[in-house]
């Protein structure tokens, strides 16, 4: 595990440009797209900060952003045909 890509919540939210709440509510345990052990890991105790794999989360953000843009393009094309 590369320690430079795994950051505690306080630092990860800054690097990723989102809130801690956004990260936490998008974990797979809440039906979100961030997967345990791929995108986040728990600390050794209940009080430990969650560590976030910022490199992999940025890839996931990019993928989802690209999907949204493709969807918007398809909707625009369909609206032009109507």
User: Residue 3: pLDDT band by 50, 70, 90 thresholds?
Assistant: low
pLDDT of residue 82: 77
- For residue 18, which of 30, 34, 2 has the smallest C-alpha distance? 34
Say whether pLDDT at 40 is over 60: yes
SS3 (DSSP) at 61: helix
User: Residue 1: pLDDT band by 50, 70, 90 thresholds?
Assistant: very low
Describe the crossing of helices 9-16 and 54-81 by its angle, rounded to 10 degrees: 40
Domains and CATH numbers, the chain: 6-81 (1.10.1660)
Q: What is the pTM of this model?
A: 0.82
Extended beta strands in the chain, E state: 6-8, 40-41, 51-53
pLDDT of residue 26: 97
């Amino acid at each position: 595990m590369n320690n430079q890509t795994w950051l505690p919540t306080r630092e990860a939210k800054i690097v990723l440009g989102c809130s801690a709440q956004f990260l936490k509510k998008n974990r797979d345990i809440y039906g979100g797209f961030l997967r345990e052990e791929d995108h986040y890991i728990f600390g050794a105790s209940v009080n430990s900060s969650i560590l976030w794999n910022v490199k992999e989360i940025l890839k996931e953000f990019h993928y989802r952003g690209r999907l949204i843009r493709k969807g918007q393009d398809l909707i625009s094309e369909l609206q032009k045909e109507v």
